[in-house]
Structures are given as C-alpha cells and as structure tokens.
Amino acid sequence: MKRWHWISLAAVMIGSLVLERVAVHHTSDYWWSHIPGLYGWLGLLGCIGIIVGSKLLGRKWLQRDEHYYDGE
C-alpha cells in the first residue's frame, strides 16, 4: 500500500462520516441506528471479531492435520 492509497482511503472514510452527519437523516427508530459511524464500527469491529473468533474456533476445535481423513 502506497501513501496515496492510505490518503484516498482516509478521505473516503472521513467524507462518508461527514456526509452521514450533515446529509443523512435516519428514518429508522431503533436505538442503534443513531450511533455515529455505526457502519464504520460494524465494519471494523465485525472484521476483527470474525478473524479472531474464527481463528479461535479453528485452533481450539475445528482445525486438524490435512491428512485427517486419509484413512477413511
């Protein structure tokens, strides 16, 4: 990743947060729909949660040697 990639990505993220603040009016009445940057949080925390949770599940329970079924 080059520097301009990061700058573009940050600009897009900040732009979307600003647009959300000034131009988006949520019609949904759920408490969570009023959290600022909700979808950004969902993306970041969801991504980390999926990686960590899946890897934990794999290491503790599901992952086996590639030849696990070879004797079947």
Task: Point out which residues bind other proteins (CB under 8 A).
Answer: 1, 9, 12-13, 16-17, 19-20, 23-24, 26, 28, 30, 32, 37-48, 50-55, 57-58, 61-69, 71-72
Q: Min. distance of Cβ 57 from other proteins in angstroms?
A: 7
Closer Cβ to other proteins, 3 or 64, answer by number: 64
Dihedral angle sign, alpha carbons of residues 47, 49, 52, 58: negative
Cβ-based neighbours of 24, under 8 Å, separated by 6 or more? none
Q: Min. distance of Cβ 4 from other proteins in angstroms?
A: 15
Q: Determine the Cα–Cα distance for residues 63 and 65; give it in Å rounded to an integer.
A: 7
